[in-house]
Structure 1
Amino acid sequence: MGTKTELPHATDWVRHAPAFAELESIEAFFSGHAFDPHRHATYAIGRTLAGVQSFSYRGAQTHSLPGETMVFHPDEVHDGRAGAACGFRYRMLYVPPALVQDVLGGRPLPFHREGVSLDPRLARATDAVFAVLDERPDALGRDAALFDLVSTLAEVCQAWPSRGRVDFAAALQAREYLEDHLDQPVTLDDLARCAGRDRWSLSRDFRAYFGTSPHRYLTLRRLDRVRLQVRLGMDLAQAAVAAGFYDQSHMTRHFRQAFGIAPARWLRGLAAAPGFSGAKAPLRD
Protein backbone atom coordinates (compact mmCIF):
# COMPACT_ATOMS: atom_id res chain seq x y z
CA MET A 1 0.00 0.00 0.00
CA GLY A 2 3.01 2.33 0.21
CA THR A 3 4.51 4.48 2.94
CA LYS A 4 2.94 4.85 6.40
CA THR A 5 2.71 8.20 8.17
CA GLU A 6 2.23 8.37 11.94
CA LEU A 7 -0.16 11.09 13.16
CA PRO A 8 -0.40 12.82 16.57
CA HIS A 9 -2.54 10.11 18.21
CA ALA A 10 -0.49 6.99 18.86
CA THR A 11 -3.02 4.71 17.19
CA ASP A 12 -3.67 6.88 14.11
CA TRP A 13 -1.94 6.28 10.79
CA VAL A 14 -2.15 7.10 7.08
CA ARG A 15 -0.61 5.03 4.30
CA HIS A 16 -0.06 6.80 0.99
CA ALA A 17 -0.19 4.47 -1.97
CA PRO A 18 2.44 4.97 -4.66
CA ALA A 19 1.06 7.55 -7.10
CA PHE A 20 -0.08 6.12 -10.42
CA ALA A 21 -0.37 8.80 -13.10
CA GLU A 22 -2.67 11.49 -11.66
CA LEU A 23 -4.50 9.22 -9.21
CA GLU A 24 -3.77 9.52 -5.49
CA SER A 25 -4.95 6.97 -2.94
CA ILE A 26 -4.68 6.55 0.82
CA GLU A 27 -5.70 4.08 3.51
CA ALA A 28 -6.04 5.43 7.05
CA PHE A 29 -7.20 4.81 10.60
CA PHE A 30 -8.30 7.53 13.02
CA SER A 31 -9.36 7.07 16.62
CA GLY A 32 -11.01 10.49 16.95
CA HIS A 33 -10.59 13.79 15.10
CA ALA A 34 -9.19 13.30 11.60
CA PHE A 35 -9.42 16.48 9.51
CA ASP A 36 -10.63 20.04 9.90
CA PRO A 37 -13.15 21.38 7.34
CA HIS A 38 -11.52 21.49 3.91
CA ARG A 39 -12.31 20.95 0.24
CA HIS A 40 -10.54 19.22 -2.61
CA ALA A 41 -10.28 20.11 -6.27
CA THR A 42 -10.82 16.41 -6.98
CA TYR A 43 -13.52 13.87 -6.40
CA ALA A 44 -12.85 12.01 -3.15
CA ILE A 45 -14.32 8.53 -3.51
CA GLY A 46 -13.81 6.00 -0.76
CA ARG A 47 -14.92 2.98 1.20
CA THR A 48 -15.30 2.67 4.97
CA LEU A 49 -13.57 -0.57 5.99
CA ALA A 50 -14.21 -0.64 9.76
CA GLY A 51 -15.86 1.44 12.47
CA VAL A 52 -17.95 4.56 11.86
CA GLN A 53 -16.70 7.52 9.84
CA SER A 54 -18.60 10.74 10.59
CA PHE A 55 -18.40 14.01 8.71
CA SER A 56 -20.24 17.21 7.94
CA TYR A 57 -21.18 17.53 4.27
CA ARG A 58 -23.53 19.98 2.52
CA GLY A 59 -25.05 21.14 5.81
CA ALA A 60 -25.78 17.67 7.20
CA GLN A 61 -24.09 15.35 9.69
CA THR A 62 -23.41 12.09 7.86
CA HIS A 63 -22.11 8.68 8.94
CA SER A 64 -20.46 6.06 6.75
CA LEU A 65 -20.45 2.39 7.83
CA PRO A 66 -18.42 -0.56 6.53
CA GLY A 67 -19.46 -1.47 3.01
CA GLU A 68 -20.76 1.99 2.16
CA THR A 69 -19.19 4.29 -0.44
CA MET A 70 -18.35 7.94 0.13
CA VAL A 71 -18.53 10.39 -2.77
CA PHE A 72 -17.38 13.96 -2.14
CA HIS A 73 -17.82 16.26 -5.11
CA PRO A 74 -14.99 18.68 -5.95
CA ASP A 75 -15.07 21.92 -3.97
CA GLU A 76 -17.58 20.68 -1.37
CA VAL A 77 -16.49 21.40 2.22
CA HIS A 78 -16.25 18.39 4.55
CA ASP A 79 -14.39 17.26 7.66
CA GLY A 80 -13.69 13.88 9.24
CA ARG A 81 -13.88 12.21 12.66
CA ALA A 82 -14.65 8.92 14.36
CA GLY A 83 -18.33 8.28 14.98
CA ALA A 84 -17.71 5.52 17.53
CA ALA A 85 -15.20 4.75 20.27
CA CYS A 86 -13.53 2.11 18.09
CA GLY A 87 -12.44 4.73 15.54
CA PHE A 88 -12.66 4.15 11.80
CA ARG A 89 -10.56 2.80 8.95
CA TYR A 90 -11.10 3.70 5.31
CA ARG A 91 -9.62 3.97 1.83
CA MET A 92 -9.96 7.02 -0.36
CA LEU A 93 -9.29 7.70 -4.03
CA TYR A 94 -8.78 11.23 -5.38
CA VAL A 95 -9.88 11.62 -9.01
CA PRO A 96 -9.25 14.95 -10.81
CA PRO A 97 -12.27 16.25 -12.77
CA ALA A 98 -10.01 16.50 -15.82
CA LEU A 99 -9.68 12.69 -15.80
CA VAL A 100 -13.44 12.40 -15.36
CA GLN A 101 -13.92 14.62 -18.40
CA ASP A 102 -11.61 12.37 -20.41
CA VAL A 103 -14.37 9.78 -20.03
CA LEU A 104 -17.43 12.03 -20.12
CA GLY A 105 -16.27 14.01 -23.15
CA GLY A 106 -18.06 17.23 -22.26
CA ARG A 107 -21.04 16.11 -20.16
CA PRO A 108 -21.60 17.91 -16.84
CA LEU A 109 -19.92 16.24 -13.89
CA PRO A 110 -21.80 13.59 -11.87
CA PHE A 111 -23.03 14.94 -8.54
CA HIS A 112 -23.96 12.89 -5.45
CA ARG A 113 -25.85 15.06 -2.97
CA GLU A 114 -25.74 12.92 0.18
CA GLY A 115 -22.02 12.04 0.35
CA VAL A 116 -22.71 8.34 1.07
CA SER A 117 -24.01 5.79 -1.42
CA LEU A 118 -25.45 2.34 -0.79
CA ASP A 119 -25.48 1.47 -4.50
CA PRO A 120 -23.63 -1.86 -5.02
CA ARG A 121 -22.58 -0.84 -8.53
CA LEU A 122 -20.59 2.09 -7.21
CA ALA A 123 -19.07 -0.09 -4.47
CA ARG A 124 -17.88 -2.66 -7.02
CA ALA A 125 -16.46 -0.02 -9.37
CA THR A 126 -14.59 1.72 -6.54
CA ASP A 127 -13.18 -1.55 -5.19
CA ALA A 128 -12.03 -2.44 -8.70
CA VAL A 129 -9.92 0.72 -8.94
CA PHE A 130 -8.33 0.01 -5.55
CA ALA A 131 -7.60 -3.54 -6.67
CA VAL A 132 -5.78 -2.52 -9.84
CA LEU A 133 -3.81 0.16 -7.99
CA ASP A 134 -2.70 -2.44 -5.46
CA GLU A 135 -1.49 -4.62 -8.31
CA ARG A 136 0.64 -1.82 -9.83
CA PRO A 137 -1.17 -2.09 -13.18
CA ASP A 138 -0.05 -0.85 -16.54
CA ALA A 139 -1.79 2.22 -17.93
CA LEU A 140 -4.32 0.13 -19.85
CA GLY A 141 -5.52 -1.69 -16.72
CA ARG A 142 -5.71 1.53 -14.72
CA ASP A 143 -7.63 3.35 -17.45
CA ALA A 144 -10.11 0.49 -17.86
CA ALA A 145 -10.96 0.52 -14.14
CA LEU A 146 -11.17 4.33 -14.11
CA PHE A 147 -13.47 4.31 -17.15
CA ASP A 148 -15.81 1.89 -15.38
CA LEU A 149 -15.81 3.99 -12.20
CA VAL A 150 -16.62 7.25 -14.01
CA SER A 151 -19.28 5.54 -16.13
CA THR A 152 -20.87 4.17 -12.96
CA LEU A 153 -20.78 7.60 -11.30
CA ALA A 154 -22.56 9.09 -14.30
CA GLU A 155 -25.15 6.29 -14.13
CA VAL A 156 -25.99 6.45 -10.43
CA CYS A 157 -25.52 10.20 -9.73
CA GLN A 158 -27.27 13.34 -10.91
CA ALA A 159 -25.60 15.81 -13.24
CA TRP A 160 -23.90 18.79 -11.64
CA PRO A 161 -26.55 21.56 -11.62
CA SER A 162 -25.80 24.52 -13.87
CA ARG A 163 -27.82 27.53 -14.93
CA GLY A 164 -28.10 28.30 -18.60
CA ARG A 165 -26.11 26.88 -21.47
CA VAL A 166 -22.51 25.89 -20.87
CA ASP A 167 -19.60 25.63 -23.30
CA PHE A 168 -17.19 22.71 -22.94
CA ALA A 169 -14.68 24.05 -25.47
CA ALA A 170 -14.45 27.36 -23.59
CA ALA A 171 -13.90 25.54 -20.28
CA LEU A 172 -11.12 23.46 -21.85
CA GLN A 173 -9.40 26.55 -23.26
CA ALA A 174 -9.54 28.25 -19.86
CA ARG A 175 -8.12 25.18 -18.13
CA GLU A 176 -5.24 24.97 -20.62
CA TYR A 177 -4.48 28.67 -20.05
CA LEU A 178 -4.37 28.10 -16.28
CA GLU A 179 -2.04 25.12 -16.67
CA ASP A 180 0.30 27.24 -18.79
CA HIS A 181 0.34 30.12 -16.26
CA LEU A 182 0.43 28.39 -12.87
CA ASP A 183 3.19 30.62 -11.49
CA GLN A 184 1.86 33.87 -12.98
CA PRO A 185 -0.97 36.27 -12.06
CA VAL A 186 -4.18 35.34 -13.91
CA THR A 187 -7.45 37.30 -14.06
CA LEU A 188 -10.91 36.22 -15.11
CA ASP A 189 -10.63 38.72 -17.96
CA ASP A 190 -7.52 36.88 -19.20
CA LEU A 191 -9.47 33.61 -19.25
CA ALA A 192 -12.51 35.18 -20.89
CA ARG A 193 -10.41 36.62 -23.73
CA CYS A 194 -8.66 33.29 -24.19
CA ALA A 195 -11.93 31.34 -24.32
CA GLY A 196 -13.99 33.87 -26.27
CA ARG A 197 -16.67 34.09 -23.56
CA ASP A 198 -17.82 36.76 -21.15
CA ARG A 199 -16.53 36.48 -17.58
CA TRP A 200 -19.62 35.06 -15.91
CA SER A 201 -20.55 32.64 -18.68
CA LEU A 202 -17.03 31.26 -18.51
CA SER A 203 -17.32 30.89 -14.72
CA ARG A 204 -20.45 28.76 -15.24
CA ASP A 205 -18.70 26.76 -17.97
CA PHE A 206 -15.73 25.99 -15.76
CA ARG A 207 -17.78 24.95 -12.72
CA ALA A 208 -20.01 22.67 -14.81
CA TYR A 209 -17.11 20.75 -16.33
CA PHE A 210 -14.36 20.93 -13.68
CA GLY A 211 -16.35 21.18 -10.47
CA THR A 212 -14.86 24.39 -9.10
CA SER A 213 -14.08 27.99 -9.99
CA PRO A 214 -11.06 28.93 -12.12
CA HIS A 215 -9.51 30.62 -9.07
CA ARG A 216 -9.89 27.52 -6.88
CA TYR A 217 -8.57 25.31 -9.69
CA LEU A 218 -5.48 27.50 -10.04
CA THR A 219 -4.90 27.54 -6.27
CA LEU A 220 -5.13 23.76 -5.96
CA ARG A 221 -2.82 23.19 -8.92
CA ARG A 222 -0.31 25.53 -7.28
CA LEU A 223 -0.59 23.48 -4.08
CA ASP A 224 0.09 20.34 -6.14
CA ARG A 225 3.25 22.04 -7.37
CA VAL A 226 4.26 22.92 -3.78
CA ARG A 227 3.90 19.30 -2.69
CA LEU A 228 5.90 18.08 -5.68
CA GLN A 229 8.72 20.58 -5.13
CA VAL A 230 8.96 19.71 -1.43
CA ARG A 231 9.18 16.03 -2.27
CA LEU A 232 12.07 16.92 -4.61
CA GLY A 233 13.94 18.72 -1.83
CA MET A 234 12.80 22.36 -1.85
CA ASP A 235 11.80 23.91 1.49
CA LEU A 236 8.26 25.18 2.06
CA ALA A 237 9.06 28.89 1.73
CA GLN A 238 10.87 28.46 -1.59
CA ALA A 239 8.22 26.07 -2.92
CA ALA A 240 5.44 28.51 -2.05
CA VAL A 241 6.97 31.36 -4.05
CA ALA A 242 8.01 29.10 -6.94
CA ALA A 243 4.41 27.86 -7.25
CA GLY A 244 2.98 31.38 -7.52
CA PHE A 245 1.99 32.22 -3.92
CA TYR A 246 3.04 35.54 -2.36
CA ASP A 247 4.87 33.81 0.48
CA GLN A 248 4.73 30.79 2.78
CA SER A 249 1.95 32.26 4.94
CA HIS A 250 -0.23 32.81 1.88
CA MET A 251 0.35 29.22 0.78
CA THR A 252 -0.29 27.85 4.29
CA ARG A 253 -3.75 29.41 4.48
CA HIS A 254 -4.76 27.75 1.23
CA PHE A 255 -3.10 24.45 2.20
CA ARG A 256 -5.18 24.23 5.39
CA GLN A 257 -8.37 24.98 3.46
CA ALA A 258 -7.58 22.33 0.85
CA PHE A 259 -6.28 19.46 2.98
CA GLY A 260 -7.47 20.12 6.53
CA ILE A 261 -3.93 20.17 8.00
CA ALA A 262 -1.01 22.59 8.03
CA PRO A 263 1.79 22.03 5.50
CA ALA A 264 4.35 21.69 8.30
CA ARG A 265 2.39 18.77 9.78
CA TRP A 266 2.11 17.21 6.33
CA LEU A 267 5.85 17.63 5.82
CA ARG A 268 6.72 16.14 9.21
CA GLY A 269 4.71 13.06 8.33
CA LEU A 270 6.29 12.90 4.90
CA ALA A 271 9.80 13.24 6.37
CA ALA A 272 9.07 10.30 8.70
CA ALA A 273 8.17 8.04 5.78
CA PRO A 274 10.83 5.50 4.71
CA GLY A 275 12.96 6.66 1.81
CA PHE A 276 12.07 10.36 2.00
CA SER A 277 15.03 12.61 1.22
CA GLY A 278 13.40 15.98 0.70
CA ALA A 279 13.36 19.20 2.67
CA LYS A 280 13.72 19.02 6.47
CA ALA A 281 13.31 22.72 7.44
CA PRO A 282 11.92 25.19 8.09
CA LEU A 283 8.75 23.61 9.46
CA ARG A 284 6.83 26.63 10.75
CA ASP A 285 3.10 26.73 9.95
Structure 2
Amino acid sequence: MSDHALPSPHDWVRRHSPPGGIERIEAWFGGHGYDPHRHDTYAIGQTLAGVQSFHYSGALRHSLPGATMVLHPDELHDGMAGSAAGFRYRMAYIDPASIQQALGGETLPYIRGGLSDDLRLRCASQVFVQALEHPLQALEEQDALYDLAVALRVVAGKPRGRKRPDYQAAERARGFILEHAEQDITLEALEQVSGRERWSLSRDFRALYGTSPYRYVTLRRLDRVRAMLLDGFSLVDAALAAGFHDQSHMTRYFTRAYGVPPARWLQRLRA
Protein backbone atom coordinates (compact mmCIF):
# COMPACT_ATOMS: atom_id res chain seq x y z
CA MET A 1 0.00 0.00 0.00
CA SER A 2 1.40 3.43 -0.95
CA ASP A 3 1.74 6.26 1.57
CA HIS A 4 -1.20 8.20 0.20
CA ALA A 5 -3.49 5.22 0.86
CA LEU A 6 -2.98 5.46 4.62
CA PRO A 7 -5.61 7.10 6.85
CA SER A 8 -5.07 10.82 7.30
CA PRO A 9 -5.48 12.55 10.68
CA HIS A 10 -7.17 15.36 8.77
CA ASP A 11 -9.96 13.25 7.26
CA TRP A 12 -13.40 14.63 8.03
CA VAL A 13 -17.07 13.79 7.58
CA ARG A 14 -20.02 16.17 7.86
CA ARG A 15 -23.38 14.48 8.35
CA HIS A 16 -27.00 15.64 8.13
CA SER A 17 -29.63 13.13 9.21
CA PRO A 18 -32.93 14.75 10.20
CA PRO A 19 -35.53 12.57 11.97
CA GLY A 20 -37.55 10.77 9.33
CA GLY A 21 -35.42 12.28 6.56
CA ILE A 22 -32.61 11.18 4.30
CA GLU A 23 -29.08 10.85 5.64
CA ARG A 24 -26.59 12.94 3.65
CA ILE A 25 -22.87 13.38 4.13
CA GLU A 26 -20.00 15.40 2.74
CA ALA A 27 -16.49 14.10 3.38
CA TRP A 28 -12.83 14.47 2.50
CA PHE A 29 -10.23 11.70 2.71
CA GLY A 30 -6.53 11.96 2.00
CA GLY A 31 -6.02 8.23 1.48
CA HIS A 32 -7.86 5.23 2.87
CA GLY A 33 -11.50 5.96 3.58
CA TYR A 34 -13.39 2.77 4.34
CA ASP A 35 -12.78 -0.95 4.63
CA PRO A 36 -15.09 -3.25 2.61
CA HIS A 37 -18.66 -2.90 3.89
CA ARG A 38 -22.30 -3.03 2.81
CA HIS A 39 -25.26 -0.69 3.36
CA ASP A 40 -28.90 -1.72 3.08
CA THR A 41 -29.59 1.56 1.28
CA TYR A 42 -28.73 2.97 -2.10
CA ALA A 43 -25.62 5.14 -1.75
CA ILE A 44 -26.00 7.86 -4.36
CA GLY A 45 -23.50 10.65 -4.72
CA GLN A 46 -21.00 12.69 -6.64
CA THR A 47 -17.25 13.22 -6.37
CA LEU A 48 -16.58 16.94 -5.99
CA ALA A 49 -12.78 16.90 -6.31
CA GLY A 50 -10.01 14.38 -6.84
CA VAL A 51 -10.32 10.71 -7.75
CA GLN A 52 -12.58 8.54 -5.59
CA SER A 53 -11.66 4.87 -6.02
CA PHE A 54 -13.56 1.85 -4.76
CA HIS A 55 -13.82 -1.87 -5.35
CA TYR A 56 -17.30 -2.78 -6.50
CA SER A 57 -18.82 -5.73 -8.31
CA GLY A 58 -15.49 -7.40 -8.94
CA ALA A 59 -13.50 -4.44 -10.23
CA LEU A 60 -11.73 -1.27 -9.09
CA ARG A 61 -13.82 1.76 -10.07
CA HIS A 62 -12.78 5.41 -10.27
CA SER A 63 -15.28 8.22 -9.77
CA LEU A 64 -14.42 11.66 -11.15
CA PRO A 65 -16.34 14.93 -10.92
CA GLY A 66 -19.24 14.80 -13.37
CA ALA A 67 -20.27 11.18 -12.86
CA THR A 68 -22.95 9.82 -10.51
CA MET A 69 -22.24 7.01 -8.10
CA VAL A 70 -25.13 4.60 -7.57
CA LEU A 71 -24.14 1.81 -5.20
CA HIS A 72 -26.85 -0.83 -4.90
CA PRO A 73 -28.06 -1.97 -1.47
CA ASP A 74 -26.02 -4.81 0.01
CA GLU A 75 -23.24 -4.58 -2.60
CA LEU A 76 -19.80 -4.86 -1.01
CA HIS A 77 -17.57 -1.82 -1.57
CA ASP A 78 -14.75 0.15 0.02
CA GLY A 79 -13.36 3.64 -0.50
CA MET A 80 -9.96 5.28 -1.01
CA ALA A 81 -8.19 8.14 -2.75
CA GLY A 82 -7.16 7.38 -6.31
CA SER A 83 -4.36 9.95 -6.20
CA ALA A 84 -2.14 11.69 -3.66
CA ALA A 85 -4.42 14.74 -3.78
CA GLY A 86 -7.20 12.99 -1.83
CA PHE A 87 -10.88 13.30 -2.71
CA ARG A 88 -14.00 15.11 -1.59
CA TYR A 89 -17.53 13.88 -2.19
CA ARG A 90 -21.18 14.06 -1.17
CA MET A 91 -23.42 11.06 -0.71
CA ALA A 92 -27.06 10.41 0.15
CA TYR A 93 -28.30 7.13 1.59
CA ILE A 94 -31.69 6.36 0.11
CA ASP A 95 -33.92 3.75 1.75
CA PRO A 96 -35.20 1.30 -0.89
CA ALA A 97 -38.60 1.48 0.84
CA SER A 98 -38.78 5.13 -0.26
CA ILE A 99 -37.99 4.14 -3.84
CA GLN A 100 -40.71 1.49 -3.66
CA GLN A 101 -43.29 4.18 -2.87
CA ALA A 102 -42.80 5.30 -6.47
CA LEU A 103 -42.10 1.92 -8.06
CA GLY A 104 -44.99 0.22 -6.29
CA GLY A 105 -43.40 -3.19 -5.86
CA GLU A 106 -40.97 -3.60 -8.76
CA THR A 107 -37.58 -5.24 -8.41
CA LEU A 108 -35.06 -2.57 -7.39
CA PRO A 109 -33.19 -0.99 -10.34
CA TYR A 110 -29.53 -1.93 -10.58
CA ILE A 111 -26.93 0.38 -12.16
CA ARG A 112 -24.08 -1.83 -13.38
CA GLY A 113 -20.61 -0.89 -12.22
CA GLY A 114 -21.86 1.62 -9.64
CA LEU A 115 -21.11 4.61 -11.90
CA SER A 116 -23.17 6.41 -14.51
CA ASP A 117 -22.58 9.33 -16.88
CA ASP A 118 -26.30 9.53 -17.69
CA LEU A 119 -27.51 13.11 -17.32
CA ARG A 120 -30.96 11.94 -16.21
CA LEU A 121 -29.50 10.31 -13.13
CA ARG A 122 -27.25 13.27 -12.44
CA CYS A 123 -30.17 15.69 -12.59
CA ALA A 124 -32.46 13.46 -10.53
CA SER A 125 -29.88 13.04 -7.78
CA GLN A 126 -28.85 16.69 -7.64
CA VAL A 127 -31.29 17.59 -4.87
CA PHE A 128 -29.73 15.01 -2.57
CA VAL A 129 -26.10 16.02 -3.15
CA GLN A 130 -26.47 19.75 -2.73
CA ALA A 131 -24.59 21.40 0.15
CA LEU A 132 -25.63 20.21 3.60
CA GLU A 133 -26.31 23.81 4.57
CA HIS A 134 -29.44 23.56 2.40
CA PRO A 135 -31.92 21.34 4.29
CA LEU A 136 -34.55 19.55 2.24
CA GLN A 137 -38.17 20.51 2.74
CA ALA A 138 -40.58 17.57 3.06
CA LEU A 139 -42.34 18.12 -0.26
CA GLU A 140 -39.05 18.81 -2.04
CA GLU A 141 -37.66 15.51 -0.74
CA GLN A 142 -40.73 13.52 -1.79
CA ASP A 143 -40.75 15.02 -5.28
CA ALA A 144 -37.04 14.32 -5.63
CA LEU A 145 -37.49 10.71 -4.49
CA TYR A 146 -40.08 10.15 -7.20
CA ASP A 147 -37.82 11.70 -9.87
CA LEU A 148 -34.91 9.58 -8.67
CA ALA A 149 -36.93 6.36 -8.72
CA VAL A 150 -38.08 7.04 -12.27
CA ALA A 151 -34.54 7.88 -13.41
CA LEU A 152 -33.15 4.72 -11.81
CA ARG A 153 -35.80 2.61 -13.52
CA VAL A 154 -35.20 4.18 -16.93
CA VAL A 155 -31.40 4.07 -16.82
CA ALA A 156 -31.22 0.55 -15.37
CA GLY A 157 -33.90 -0.91 -17.61
CA LYS A 158 -36.54 -3.34 -16.41
CA PRO A 159 -35.37 -6.78 -15.26
CA ARG A 160 -36.59 -9.63 -17.43
CA GLY A 161 -38.16 -12.94 -16.65
CA ARG A 162 -38.90 -12.49 -12.95
CA LYS A 163 -42.28 -12.82 -11.33
CA ARG A 164 -43.45 -9.60 -9.67
CA PRO A 165 -42.77 -9.73 -5.92
CA ASP A 166 -45.61 -9.66 -3.36
CA TYR A 167 -45.12 -6.08 -2.25
CA GLN A 168 -47.92 -5.95 0.34
CA ALA A 169 -46.71 -9.09 2.13
CA ALA A 170 -43.14 -7.78 2.21
CA GLU A 171 -44.33 -4.42 3.54
CA ARG A 172 -46.18 -6.16 6.37
CA ALA A 173 -42.98 -7.98 7.27
CA ARG A 174 -40.94 -4.78 7.07
CA GLY A 175 -43.40 -2.96 9.34
CA PHE A 176 -43.17 -5.75 11.89
CA ILE A 177 -39.37 -5.54 11.83
CA LEU A 178 -39.44 -1.79 12.41
CA GLU A 179 -41.66 -2.27 15.47
CA HIS A 180 -39.68 -5.16 16.97
CA ALA A 181 -36.09 -4.68 15.75
CA GLU A 182 -34.62 -4.95 19.26
CA GLN A 183 -36.25 -8.35 19.81
CA ASP A 184 -35.38 -11.80 18.51
CA ILE A 185 -37.29 -11.97 15.21
CA THR A 186 -37.70 -15.29 13.41
CA LEU A 187 -38.71 -16.19 9.87
CA GLU A 188 -41.67 -18.00 11.38
CA ALA A 189 -42.90 -14.75 12.90
CA LEU A 190 -42.43 -12.89 9.61
CA GLU A 191 -44.24 -15.67 7.77
CA GLN A 192 -47.19 -15.37 10.13
CA VAL A 193 -47.48 -11.58 10.05
CA SER A 194 -47.01 -11.33 6.28
CA GLY A 195 -49.20 -14.24 5.26
CA ARG A 196 -46.47 -15.37 2.86
CA GLU A 197 -44.46 -18.59 2.85
CA ARG A 198 -41.11 -17.80 4.48
CA TRP A 199 -38.74 -18.56 1.61
CA SER A 200 -40.87 -16.73 -0.94
CA LEU A 201 -41.06 -13.82 1.48
CA SER A 202 -37.28 -13.81 1.93
CA ARG A 203 -36.74 -13.81 -1.85
CA ASP A 204 -39.28 -11.00 -2.40
CA PHE A 205 -37.82 -8.96 0.47
CA ARG A 206 -34.39 -9.02 -1.18
CA ALA A 207 -35.82 -8.02 -4.55
CA LEU A 208 -37.84 -5.13 -3.13
CA TYR A 209 -35.51 -3.75 -0.45
CA GLY A 210 -32.11 -4.94 -1.61
CA THR A 211 -31.22 -7.00 1.45
CA SER A 212 -32.34 -9.96 3.53
CA PRO A 213 -34.78 -9.70 6.45
CA TYR A 214 -31.98 -10.52 8.91
CA ARG A 215 -29.68 -7.83 7.51
CA TYR A 216 -32.57 -5.37 7.62
CA VAL A 217 -33.05 -6.11 11.35
CA THR A 218 -29.33 -5.70 12.00
CA LEU A 219 -29.13 -2.34 10.21
CA ARG A 220 -32.13 -1.00 12.10
CA ARG A 221 -30.35 -1.91 15.34
CA LEU A 222 -27.24 -0.13 14.09
CA ASP A 223 -29.35 2.94 13.30
CA ARG A 224 -30.24 3.07 16.98
CA VAL A 225 -26.62 2.54 17.99
CA ARG A 226 -25.49 5.49 15.89
CA ALA A 227 -28.21 7.73 17.31
CA MET A 228 -27.30 6.77 20.88
CA LEU A 229 -23.58 7.29 20.31
CA LEU A 230 -24.26 10.77 18.98
CA ASP A 231 -26.32 11.41 22.13
CA GLY A 232 -23.32 10.52 24.28
CA PHE A 233 -24.10 6.95 25.31
CA SER A 234 -21.24 4.51 25.76
CA LEU A 235 -20.55 1.76 23.24
CA VAL A 236 -21.66 -0.97 25.62
CA ASP A 237 -24.89 0.77 26.62
CA ALA A 238 -25.79 1.49 23.01
CA ALA A 239 -25.06 -2.09 21.98
CA LEU A 240 -27.24 -3.63 24.67
CA ALA A 241 -30.12 -1.18 24.22
CA ALA A 242 -30.20 -1.85 20.47
CA GLY A 243 -30.48 -5.61 20.91
CA PHE A 244 -26.89 -6.82 20.43
CA HIS A 245 -25.38 -9.44 22.75
CA ASP A 246 -22.49 -7.21 23.79
CA GLN A 247 -20.19 -4.42 22.60
CA SER A 248 -17.91 -6.64 20.52
CA HIS A 249 -20.92 -8.18 18.76
CA MET A 250 -22.18 -4.70 17.85
CA THR A 251 -18.72 -3.46 16.81
CA ARG A 252 -18.27 -6.37 14.42
CA TYR A 253 -21.54 -5.63 12.64
CA PHE A 254 -20.98 -1.86 12.75
CA THR A 255 -17.66 -2.22 10.93
CA ARG A 256 -19.18 -4.51 8.33
CA ALA A 257 -21.96 -1.99 7.68
CA TYR A 258 -20.01 1.29 7.66
CA GLY A 259 -16.41 0.32 6.92
CA VAL A 260 -15.00 1.75 10.16
CA PRO A 261 -15.37 0.84 13.87
CA PRO A 262 -17.84 2.96 15.86
CA ALA A 263 -15.15 4.92 17.73
CA ARG A 264 -13.47 5.91 14.44
CA TRP A 265 -16.89 6.83 12.95
CA LEU A 266 -17.51 9.21 15.86
CA GLN A 267 -13.99 10.67 15.61
CA ARG A 268 -14.48 11.58 11.95
CA LEU A 269 -17.77 13.32 12.64
CA ARG A 270 -16.14 15.39 15.35
CA ALA A 271 -13.02 16.28 13.32
Instruction: Give the TM-score of the pair, scaled to structure 1.
Output: 0.87
Residue aligning to 2:25: 26
Q: CA deviation at 1:168?
A: 0.8
Q: CA deviation at 1:154?
A: 1.4
Deviations 1:69-111 (CA, angstroms, capped at 9, x unpaired): 1100000000001111212111111001111112212122111
Q: Structure 1 residue 179 and structure 2 residue 178: aligned?
A: yes
| Structure 2 unpaired stretches of 5+ | 1-5
Residue aligning to 2:15: 16
With over 3 angstroms needed to count, the CA separation of the structure-2 counterparts of 1:160 and 1:81, relative to structure 1, is: farther
Q: Which amino acid aligns with 1:262?
A: P
Residue aligning to 1:241: 240
Between the two structures, name the one with larger relative contact order (CA 8 Å, sep ≥ 6).
Answer: 2
Distance 1:13 1:123 in 2: 25
Equivalent residues of 1:38, 1:77 under 8 A apart: yes
Equivalent residues of 2:205, 2:211 under 8 A apart: yes
Distance 2:257 2:138 in 1: 28
Instruction: Give the TM-score of the pair, scaled to structure 2.
Output: 0.91
Equivalent residues of 2:254, 2:262 under 8 A apart: yes
Residue aligning to 1:53: 52
Instruction: Please show how residues 205-244 of structure 1 align to structure 2 within 5 Å.
Output: 205-244=204-243
With over 3 angstroms needed to count, the CA separation of the structure-2 counterparts of 1:206 and 1:191, relative to structure 1, is: same
> CA RMSD for the aligned pairs?
2.0
Q: Secondary structure at the match of 1:114?
A: helix
Residue aligning to 2:3: none
Distance 2:32 2:161 in 1: 34
Q: CA deviation at 1:128?
A: 2.7
Q: Secondary structure at the match of 1:124?
A: helix
Counting aligned pairs with the same residue, the percent is 55
Q: Which amino acid aligns with 2:61?
A: T
Equivalences, count: 266
Residue aligning to 2:77: 78
Instruction: Please show how residues 98-247 of structure 1 align to structure 2 within 5 Å.
Output: 98-131=97-130, 134-159=133-158, 164-247=163-246
Q: CA deviation at 1:162?
A: 8.3
Equivalent residues of 1:163, 1:204 under 8 A apart: no
